[in-house]
A and B are shown apart, each in its own frame.
Chain A
Amino acid sequence: MDAWRGNPGSLLGLAGLAPAEIERLLDRAEAWLDAWRRGAVSPVLAGRSVALWFAEPSTRTRVSFEQAAALLGARPIVISERGSSLEKGETLADTAATLEAAGVDAIVVRHGASGAPEQIARAVRVPVLNAGDGTHEHPTQGLLDVLTIRQSFGRVAGLRVAIVGDVLHSRVARSTTWALAALGASVVLVGPPTLVPTELARALPAEVCHDLRAGLEGADVVMALRLQKERMVAAYLPSEAEYRARWGITAERLGWAKPGAVFLHPGPSNRGVEVETDVHDGPRSRVRDQVRNGVAVRMAALERALSGEEAARWRS
């Protein structure tokens, strides 16, 4: 399925994004990371403003986008009312048009409803960046996962990545899977059938496996997903304890993967549920790298959206 791309510079999802485009975003993120480390980030977006429309609670993604915008010299304008458009009786398109009329140069949107960023993008001319929509996609998170993996191995093609947990409700798993597959990695989605439906193998470029050991065997990367407590109430699982016993990532189980395998988690983590602390904070963990890479990836995404030269290059 080809994602609708939106206006030039928009980033609505990673499904359908060309491998070269993904690589270029990763390369720019690396360059920004390097400049950031050296304290030499040039404010290429000075004088521009970015609306950060967070209609759903978020800390790390919002902070990461805010930091990225500020580092590049753009002014972040945070709109954080929860469910703002619905509660005020205003449609998504109306709110988006208001932001555009107020002169923002791009809209970053986090929304609880799948597809909301696409609906917003259809209503405005400025670029729209999806910061996570419902259970659909979270493209910058997917990019930071792939960047972290590329840093760990120097490549992505040929790697095997196991994503373990609640894939059904995970926008991160979708975006990460699309990007990994585009760059030539193989993805296996692992977990109970209630959270990893067999039909996912027809929806995403991935295998589905309901046996943790079989899923981890041969994996270069093991990524655990956050398990939400409300899944127990909705009868997806009997209990956290049962999930932990069968699917939780322990040091021993990480050993089922390849020697040298690394561990990722999009956070926030439930330690002692989907992952044990010794794995989460252990030598194979790349969780802290993921957070730092998140800022760099968002710098690359904002640059792509807003920089005149960049936008022109992307358009061509």
Chain B
Amino acid sequence: MALLIRGGRLIDPATGRDGRFDVLVEGGRVAAVAPDLSGRLPAEGDGVEVFDARGLVVTPGLIDVHTHLRVPGQAHKETLATGTAAAAAGGFTQVCTLPNTHPVIDSPWLVEAVLARAREDAVVRVHVVGALTKGQEGRELAPLDAMARAGAVAFSDDGRPVADAGVLRRAMEYARAIGLPILDHAEDPGLTGRGVMHEGPVSLALGLPGIPAASEVVAVQRDVTLAAFTGARLHVMHLSTAGAVEAVRRAKEAGAPVTAEVTPHHLALTVAEVERLRYDASTKVNPPLRDESDRQALVQGLRDGVIDLIATDHAPHSGDEKALPYVDAPFGISGLETAFALAYGALVESGALTLPELVRRMTAEPARALGLPGGSLREGDPADIAVFDVDAEWIVDPAAFRSKGKNTPLAGRRVRGRCVATFVAGRRVWGERP
């Protein structure tokens, strides 16, 4: 059945389109984009679904290069069904799931198993990121080539930074030959120690062990140096500090093959949120929420293009785990369903970025950084489409999340910007019929 998305403001940064357009979808692909396609409608009765998008914003489906779907092994935190339903509700049509699972995704058959399961259970497109080292233990290389042939799109030891620079160097040299990027969790384990929040006056007053900004800055400096040295494509994940933004800036200026991401929560929240919620572990995230000066540097880095894209680091956990004492609770925020609104508030409402720029950082840029298909709505592209009501105000209610992870410090917060419909290959996966 054909689908006509009529009269919305189409923002497609990949094609430079920004204006009132109709989008016609046939056979799961974009058939035509034009200001008025009413003349091209098949005859009535031939089964055309018309979606009235007047007053709404139509974009390519958002792409998240940094999602934890917790598969395999942690179905109490998330499943492919719940995680991708959450993604669809957030406007995402493609997600990359990270390998810090139980067991770790460090073999081709696990990559294949997750992809096969996704074909059954997922409502959006799922890509798999394989582990960089066996068991993510930072010692021996995982079978990178075999995982790539099984469908892995990138490699990462996210959650467990590679401590040994020599191992990381070899991994980069090897990954370069395969042609896939490394997603880099930049953190110095020695400097982080047992830290659980940003090190500074708030951690000292609360008596919680701190993670110094230097833990990230030192690691980013090391890792971009190795990227320049080896020529490997390095994508630095979840930047949180001004110093790390500066390190990426210098690396890019020197021509290193580096891209970088920032999460909506690091763009919108600071350590003041930890102070406000005190020992509520919903604010516990790695890297931690930092100072206001860091937050501003992240926004500026995104404006300048030093930071290429926005990724959620969606990290669902069970309520019981997050109810542990702050020092014992796991790190992470359930982010897919609040990502657009949080970024919209921190960037567009604040005047830091235009809406088309925000859309670009959540569609075309993630596709480019990881070499993924999509992120655009050219004629012939898969019809992966999100529709947003950017004027809609809503109050974050974790109980209503599609994700199993209700862990968010945003509960009760009033935000603006909501996904009202999501289509994957022209099939609606989120939203009510208008």
Contacts and interface: CB of A to CB of B under 8 A. Distances in A.
Question: How extensive is the interface on chain A, given as a class?
Answer: 20 to 34
B323 A135 contact: no
Contacts of A136: 206-208
A98 interface: no
B254 interface: no
Contact of B324 (A86, A200, A204): A86
A111 interface: yes
Given A1-B275, A4-B278, A91-B320, A115 B326 contact: yes
A115 B275 CA distance: 12
Nearest to A134: B207
Given A86-B324, A92-B325, A119 B279 contact: yes
A174 interface: yes
Interface string B187-227: 00000000000001110111111000000000000000000
A134 B327 contact: yes
A91 B278 contact: no
Nearest to A200: B204
Contact of A91 (B204, B207, B324, B327): B324
Interface in A170-190: 171, 174
Output the residue of B202, B324, B325 with the most chain A CB within 10 A: B325
A5 B205 CA distance: 16
B328 interface: yes
Contacts of B200: 199, 202-203
A7 interface: no
Interface in A85-142: 86, 91-93, 111, 113-116, 118-119, 133-137
A284 B207 CA distance: 31
A168 B205 CA distance: 10
Interface in B317-331: 320, 323-328
Interface in B335-367: none
A299 to B, nearest CB: 26
A111 B325 CA distance: 10
Instruction: Tell me whether chain B's interface is mostly helix, strand or loop, or mixed.
Output: loop
A203 B324 CA distance: 25
Contacts of B279: 114-116, 118-119
A203 B15 CA distance: 51
A68 interface: no
Nearest to A137: B207
B325 A203 contact: no
Nearest to A178: B205
Interface in B286-341: 320, 323-328
Contacts of A171: 207
A193 B324 CA distance: 31
Contacts of A202: 200-201, 204
A295 interface: no
Contacts of A143: none
A114 B326 CA distance: 7
A23 to B, nearest CB: 23
Given A1-B275, A91-B320, A116 B204 contact: no
Interface residues of B, number: 19
Contacts of A203: 200-202, 204-205
Contact of A113 (B201, B275, B320, B326): B326
B209 to A, nearest CB: 8
A91 B281 CA distance: 13
Nearest to B319: A91
B325 A119 contact: yes
Among B205, B207, B278, B327, max chain A CB count under 10 A is at B207
A93 to B, nearest CB: 6
B208 A114 contact: yes
A202 to B, nearest CB: 4
Contacts of B327: 113-114, 134
Which of the listed residues B204, B275, B320 has the most CB atoms from chain A within 10 Å of its own CB? B204
A32 to B, nearest CB: 29
A137 to B, nearest CB: 7
A15 interface: yes
Contacts of B326: 113-115
B178 to A, nearest CB: 39
Given A4-B278, A118-B279, A199-B200, A113 B205 contact: no
A197 interface: yes
A130 B278 CA distance: 16
B259 to A, nearest CB: 33
B30 to A, nearest CB: 50
Contact of B205 (A15, A91, A92, A133): A15
Nearest to A113: B325
A197 B201 CA distance: 10
Contacts of B206: 1, 114-115, 136
Contacts of B320: 91
Contacts of A137: 207
B325 A116 contact: yes
B204 A204 contact: yes
Contacts of A118: 278-279
A136 B204 CA distance: 8
18 contacts: A15-B205, A92-B324, A113-B325, A114-B325, A115-B206, A115-B208, A115-B279, A115-B325, A118-B278, A119-B279, A119-B325, A134-B207, A134-B325, A199-B204, A200-B204, A202-B201, A203-B201, A203-B202
Given A115-B206, A202-B200, A204-B205, 18 more contacts: A91-B323, A92-B323, A92-B324, A92-B325, A114-B206, A114-B325, A114-B327, A115-B208, A115-B278, A115-B326, A119-B279, A133-B207, A134-B207, A135-B208, A136-B208, A202-B204, A203-B200, A203-B204
Interface of B: 200-202, 204-209, 275, 278-279, 320, 323-328
Top 8 closest pairs, chain A to chain B, by CB: A115-B279, A136-B207, A113-B325, A203-B204, A135-B207, A202-B201, A114-B207, A203-B201
